[in-house]
Structure 1
Amino acid sequence: MSYEPPTPPANLPTEIVNTLNELSPEQLQGIATYAEALAEHKEREARLEESADQKEMEERPEDLPDDVPVKATITIKEINDNRYYYWQWRDGDKICSQYKGPVSSDE
């Protein structure tokens, strides 16, 4: 073990390095344990989010536009005796719709 103090990572902010240099060995051990657990937690959250995004992309219907969420359903609206398909979904307290296309006469 070297008698020289360790060199902090270059990407660590100076304020954090200065604060760490003022702490006791016990406090530093606590911070090390917490930092390792926090890093594992954030990595796990990132993997879960990536997995959810991947699953959403796999379940996304091919004809669903990019700006329409996967939870949207298809609704038929009648306007002036003509029937149209719309994507429809809830966004908070409001209901959003986006035109999909006309309902063909054989449907």
Structure 2
Amino acid sequence: MSNEPPTPPAGLPTDVLDALDGYDPDRLRSVAGYAEALAEHKACEARPEGGSSEDDVEERPDDVPSKATITIKEINDNRYYYWQWREGDTVTSKYKGPVSPDR
């Protein structure tokens, strides 16, 4: 890992950058989890009525709460599905599987 801070995405407002810069690593991870969950929620809202959902593809494991949602994380240019839910102030994730290239 580099000692240099990451380059923020283009177009991110300065007030958001300033706020994030003041957060500790745990809070940043929590914000990242929330942002992923919010992005997935908005993507689901934009999905046409009757469209398929990742929830239809596989049954929910017993150790994943009913309030969990599916999120997509990109790691090393690969995309993966994760179950994600909030436990108090913590966002918990559980690996679900890779995103198929045909989706």
TM-score interval w.r.t. the shorter chain? 0.3 to 0.5
Structure with more relative contact order (C-alpha pairs < 8 Å, separation 6 or more): 2
Higher radius of gyration, 1 or 2: 1
TM-score w.r.t. length of structure 2: 0.46
